[in-house]
Structure 1
Amino acid sequence: MIYTVTFNPAIDYVVRLGNPLKPGAVNRAAGEDCVLGGKGINVSGVLAQLGVESVALGFIAGETGAWLERGLTAQGLHTDFIWLENGMTRINVKIKAGQETELNGAGPNIPESAMQTLETKLDALQKDDVLILAGSIPACLPQSTYERLLARLQGRGVRAVVDATQDLLLKVLPYKPFLIKPNNHELSEIVRHELTTDDEIVAAAAGLQAQGARNVLVSMAGDGALLLDENGAVHRIGCPKGKVVNSVGAGDSMVAGFVAGYLRTGDYRYALRLGTACGSATAFSVGLATKEKINELLETI
């Protein structure tokens, strides 16, 4: 089974304006949407489109949390959230008016007792289960939270996937995650110099592999992606043609496709192809990738 963890889920309230945003004045929306998300939840959503079951874990609170849980269940996702007594699941306001303005909520405080409940749930994971940890850690939790969870699972054969940045990513490498997915800019920040060629990216990825990562998947937006697999093979793939509509969730979609592809075939080349198709399908769509769009792009890669 695949388990995703979203520490700080959100309801994104997306407002579209027909004119530029005017601060200090009344702005009337031309349209609006509510999107239920968070990086781990995005991964679970795309896995569902691929026909792969997962369990979405995380923390929710208040009426907004209840709304988010109902909405995800209606989408066919399996959830096992931990309810918090205080606060509310955050609402992020995203104003699209030529350029995008965001106001992101803080989210509820996560007490130690809730973390212990999460650990108890993770204790049920079995050998070859997949645990996907994606995104930043809320300010109410220490930055060592990912390390804490992976240390608890160490030696049990659980395949960890980590999509995080800088120190948050580097500190989990000793626990030998199955997959890490920095983008090329994040990888440049880690090695502290700009990476401009494939050879430089491979060398930087090999450095992370030497520290413990089994597979390093580097996404490069319109330039495709590069995978250094655990056997030392380098796989390079381009990006299918299409108009980028929304890049939010594209990286999460790539993770979902890669994991699903590998579990389906055990073939890293196919995993990279499916991951690229999923990431591109989301980038070319208003929302997350759909099964139809994924299959359409997969045939072109």
Structure 2
Amino acid sequence: MIVTFTANPALDRTITLGAALRPGEVQTADSVREDAGGKGVNVSRVVAVAGVETIAVLPVAVDDPYGAIVAAAGVPMRAVPVARHVRTNLTIADHEGVTTKINLSGEPLADADAVAVTAAVVEACEGARWLVLAGSLPGGVADSFYVDIAEAVRTRWGGDAPRIAVDTSGPALREVVERGAADLIKPNDEELVELTGLALDEGALADAVHRVARRIVPVRAASALVTLGGAGAVLVTAEGTWFAEAPRIKVASTVGAGDSSLAGYLLAEHAGLAPAVRLQSAIRYGAAAASLPGTQAPTPADLGTGDIAVRSL
């Protein structure tokens, strides 16, 4: 089973335009859709439609309609009643797939609610293979919140604790790396630069990512899946480094593509596949998500069938 925890879930509202966004002008939308968003939720949605057991642990107020939207999306959920309501993220996508995002920070998470969600995550991890800690942190919790949850899970379950993947950024990711709390981190190239303070050579991006990520793996994180958008992704482990280019697709929306990449990687690892094949799976799922409007979860039927070339770095 793959457990996910989204500390700061959101309702994703996506507006699709028939032309490029023109700031300061009035435009008519071609379509509007709403999805239950949040990185962990997105991972669980992909995992669930692939037929692998998952549960999404979420802080959701009893009267918040977000919970019903998650349930309607078919995501197995453990809702922890909290005082705060989820935030709303607005995405504007034009006909070329260019995406503009406006994310709200959301309400703070009360101390008692933080304790409750930590306990719920620990309980949900019984027998799990992976725990995914994903997304930004809400106000009211320390930058070490994901580290604290990881330690609580490992203290409770010992040798039976799940492996822990973390997909976040900024101070929260820095805490995870500095304290060696993750078996897998999934930054994109910009987040890797922010984390390390080291620039990446755009002319040889994969090799630059390899060199920078090697400062982290395996001492401060057991492995790293670094997504590069349309350029592909790099997987760095203690055993080696692999790079795969992304296939050419017509981009509809990039929202959730990185989350789908992580889900694709975990699904392949869950199946016992080799690192290079896990990377191929991550690429396929990320590309499939980017080709779908809104924050839709790609299914196995949505995956491309073309060859994904992988090379060792």
TM-score, normalised to structure 1, is 0.87
Measured after TM superposition, the shift of residue 152 of structure 1 is: 1.5
Distance 1:94 1:203, change over 3 A: closer
Report 1 or 2 for greater relative contact order, CA contacts < 8 Å, sequence distance ≥ 6.
2
Residue pairs, 1:132-151, within 5 angstroms: 132-151=132-151
The alignment status of 1:289 with 2:298, answered yes or no, reads yes
* Structure-1 residue corresponding to 2:54: 54
* From 76, 80, 90, the counterpart of 1:78: 76
Measured after TM superposition, the shift of residue 256 of structure 1 is: 0.4
* Structure-2 residue corresponding to 1:163: 167
* Structure-2 residue corresponding to 1:94: 91
* Structure-1 residue corresponding to 2:210: 202
* From 253, 274, 284, the counterpart of 2:281: 274
The alignment status of 1:262 with 2:247, answered yes or no, reads no
Deviation by residue 1:144-202 (Cα, 9 ceiling, x = unmatched): 21111112223623210011224322321334422111112222233323222333322
Distance 1:150 1:285, change over 3 A: same
Q: Supply the AA of the counterpart residue of 2:76.
A: H
The alignment status of 1:114 with 2:126, answered yes or no, reads no
Identity of aligned residues (%): 28
Gaps of 5+ in 2: 309-313
Q: Matched residue of 1:132: which SS?
A: strand
* Structure-1 residue corresponding to 2:311: none
Q: Supply the AA of the counterpart residue of 1:288.
A: A
Residue range with higher mean Cα deviation, 115-124 or 14-23? 14-23
TM-score, normalised to structure 2, is 0.84
Q: Matched residue of 2:15: which SS?
A: strand
**Number of paired residues?**
294
Distance 1:62 1:280, change over 3 A: same
Q: Matched residue of 1:207: which SS?
A: coil
Q: Matched residue of 1:244: which SS?
A: coil
Distance 1:91 1:151, change over 3 A: same
Measured after TM superposition, the shift of residue 6 of structure 1 is: 1.1
Residue range with higher mean Cα deviation, 163-172 or 76-85? 163-172
Q: Supply the AA of the counterpart residue of 1:158.
A: P
Q: Supply the AA of the counterpart residue of 2:190.
A: H
Q: Is the 8 A contact 1:8 1:38 kept in 2?
A: yes
The alignment status of 1:68 with 2:90, answered yes or no, reads no
Q: Matched residue of 2:142: which SS?
A: coil
Distance 1:209 1:18, change over 3 A: closer
Gaps of 5+ in 1: none
Q: Matched residue of 2:3: which SS?
A: strand
How far, CA to CA, are the matches of 2:280 and 2:102 in structure 1? 35
Distance 1:262 1:210, change over 3 A: closer
How far, CA to CA, are the matches of 1:100 and 1:282 in structure 2? 14
Segments of 4+ in structure 1 off by > 6 A? none
Measured after TM superposition, the shift of residue 128 of structure 1 is: 5.4
